[in-house]
């Protein structure tokens, strides 16, 4: 589930607390924001552009404060954009035709199938079997297992929900009582290890899919699963995971686990539905990794998998799967985010933002490193305010303009967003991370300390290394 209600900073939480229990005031507030913003801006810029700006501010404020469910501002956006002729229906509802929307839908069905067939419980057994006997080995294998789950379950929140009962139970079995450093290290390794590297795997986290979908809608540029992986995985995925392991072992040292992992679970034979689902997931991964060869979008591959999983008699999903297990609020959220990006571009607001930002930053076609650093820094600041999923909404519609100003390729400009939204400053920026911390009752202090330390290392070390990697790949010159 994509939710921003638990991801608000202190000021936003205060607003939410003041308005809790007063739904009428909440509705009046969020409705008044868009009307006021649109009216004021219309005095200075074209009406359609003013409404696009007002809708953008309205949605970002609603998602940032969480005073209403994340799908509600999307529905308001659809209504106002159509009634006020902000853009054509084809533009406003373009998110529903994006392959990324169907990639997200397919991921939901695969997640439901994993739970229905019991593959989630088998994953728990496998995790216990590969745990190391030393504390450092256990932390390393926990991060690796969380990382691998990101390839299989294309939803960070889904992976967190899957891991939560597994890791909390395992921590106790390994002798790590709540509050101990080993308990903190183990749980943080599981949650950070599955959320942060997921930003380098196209369908694994929401911001990735928003970026890919908005790019496809605006520029008809298909972001290949393999190319995205090749560009981002080595440094921002694998090397960052190694840094995460070292930080956890250093910041939360403890003794080795108290049990022999190989004796904890008996090997059980695979059931028929489990075998079918493993084959489907394997074919999905093969199709996604080879999309640069067959040119079939990952979204349509995921949709094909969903069709097979939902086939009556296949035994892979419950009969009422679509009505009971699919979170339609999250689907509307994805469609609305993609549509909002398209409206920003179509209204001309994106072009205006390019002009304003370029004047203040001073881009130059002769200084690639400065341009990339400035774009990454700009995106990082926007991610503080708009949250990682909101960053592609703001920056993707202006990416082509920045490419023209800087002389960089469109791919290079887009990848600066990945460097920004994958670098989480504090847990509140990532709803899956904050939800995991809250549900597992992990103190926010240690989680924030780990998050901030990793943020600084990424900013000072990993991002420069990633720029070097982009140069070696030929993405930048």
Specify if 244 maps to a domain. Answer: yes
Specify if 444 maps to a domain. Answer: no
Query: Are residues 269 and 312 both part of a single domain?
Result: yes
Query: Are residues 55 and 103 both part of a single domain?
Result: no
Query: Are residues 124 and 233 both part of a single domain?
Result: yes
Specify if 159 maps to a domain. Answer: yes
Specify if 213 maps to a domain. Answer: yes
Specify if 433 maps to a domain. Answer: no
Specify if 356 maps to a domain. Answer: no
- Domain tally for the chain? 2
Query: Are residues 128 and 266 both part of a single domain?
Result: yes
User: What does each of the 477 residues of the chain score in pLDDT, given as a tens digit?
Assistant: 344 334 445 555 555 555 455 555 666 766 676 677 667 766 777 777 788 888 877 777 776 666 777 788 888 889 888 888 888 888 888 888 877 678 778 877 887 887 788 776 676 566 666 666 788 888 898 898 889 888 877 777 767 766 766 777 677 777 777 878 888 998 899 889 999 999 999 878 878 888 888 888 788 777 788 889 999 999 999 999 999 999 999 999 888 777 544 444 456 677 888 888 888 888 887 887 676 677 777 778 888 988 998 888 888 888 888 877 777 877 887 788 778 877 877 777 766 766 676 677 777 777 778 888 888 888 887 776 556 777 887 788 888 888 888 888 888 889 999 999 899 887 767 777 876 776 677 887 888 889 999 999 999 999 999 988 988 888 777
Tell me which residue range forms the domain holding 20.
1-72
Specify if 330 maps to a domain. Answer: no
Query: Are residues 54 and 157 both part of a single domain?
Result: no
Q: Is the whole-model pTM more than 0.85?
A: no
Specify if 309 maps to a domain. Answer: yes
Query: Are residues 18 and 68 both part of a single domain?
Result: yes
Query: Are residues 63 and 151 both part of a single domain?
Result: no
Query: Are residues 104 and 68 both part of a single domain?
Result: no
Out of 261, 294, 324, a domain closes at: 324
Out of 287, 304, 324, a domain closes at: 324
Per-residue buried b or exposed e for 404-413, using 16+ beta carbons within 10 Å of the residue's own CB: ebbebeebbb
Query: Are residues 64 and 103 both part of a single domain?
Result: no
Query: Are residues 164 and 284 both part of a single domain?
Result: yes
Query: Are residues 265 and 315 both part of a single domain?
Result: yes
């Amino acid at each position: 589930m994509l939710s921003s209600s638990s991801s608000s900073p202190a000021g936003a939480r205060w607003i939410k607390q003041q308005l809790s229990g007063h739904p009428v005031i909440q509705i009046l507030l969020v409705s008044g924001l868009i009307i006021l913003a649109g009216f004021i801006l219309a005095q200075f810029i074209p009406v359609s552009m003013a409404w696009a700006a007002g809708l953008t501010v309205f949605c970002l404020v609603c998602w940032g404060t969480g005073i209403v469910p994340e799908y509600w501002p999307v529905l308001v956006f659809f209504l106002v954009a159509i009634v006020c002729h902000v853009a054509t229906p084809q533009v406003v509802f373009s998110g529903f035709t994006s392959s990324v929307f169907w990639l997200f839908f397919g991921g939901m069905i695969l997640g439901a199938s994993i739970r229905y067939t019991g593959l989630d419980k088998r994953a728990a057994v496998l995790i216990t079997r590969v745990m190391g006997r030393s504390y450092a080995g256990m932390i390393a294998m926990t991060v690796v297992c969380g990382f691998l789950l990101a390839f299989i379950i294309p939803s960070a929140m889904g992976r967190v929900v899957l891991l939560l009962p597994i890791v909390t139970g395992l921590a106790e079995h390994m002798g790590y009582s709540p509050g101990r450093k080993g308990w903190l290290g183990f749980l943080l390794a599981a949650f950070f290890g599955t959320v942060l590297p997921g930003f380098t795997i196209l369908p694994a986290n929401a911001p990735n899919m928003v970026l890919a979908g908005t790019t496809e809608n605006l520029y008809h540029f298909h972001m290949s699963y393999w190319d995205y992986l090749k560009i981002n995985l080595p440094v921002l995925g694998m090397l960052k995971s190694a840094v995460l392991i070292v930080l956890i072992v250093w910041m939360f040292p403890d003794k080795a686990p108290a049990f022999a992992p190989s004796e904890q679970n008996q090997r059980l034979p695979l059931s028929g539905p489990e075998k079918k689902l493993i084959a489907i997931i394997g074919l999905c991964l093969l199709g996604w990794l080879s999309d640069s060869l067959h040119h079939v979008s990952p979204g349509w591959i995921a949709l094909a998998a969903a069709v097979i999983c939902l086939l009556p008699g296949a035994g892979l999903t419950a009969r009422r799967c679509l009505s009971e297990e699919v979170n339609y609020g999250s689907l509307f959220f994805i469609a609305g985010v993609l549509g909002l990006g398209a409206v920003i571009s179509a209204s001309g607001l994106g072009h205006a933002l390019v002009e304003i930002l370029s004047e203040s930053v001073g881009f130059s076609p002769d200084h690639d490193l400065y341009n990339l650093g400035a774009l990454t820094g700009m995106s990082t600041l926007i991610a503080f305010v708009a949250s990682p999923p909101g960053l592609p909404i703001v920056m993707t519609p202006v990416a082509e303009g920045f490419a023209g100003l800087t002389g960089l390729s469109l791919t290079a400009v887009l990848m600066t967003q990945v460097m920004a939204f994958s670098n989480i400053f504090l847990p509140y920026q990532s709803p899956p991370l904050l939800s995991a911390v809250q549900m597992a009752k992990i103190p926010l202090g240690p989680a924030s300390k780990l998050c901030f330390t990793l943020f600084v290392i990424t900013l000072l070390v990993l991002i420069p290394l990633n720029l070097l990697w982009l140069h070696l790949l030929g993405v930048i010159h």
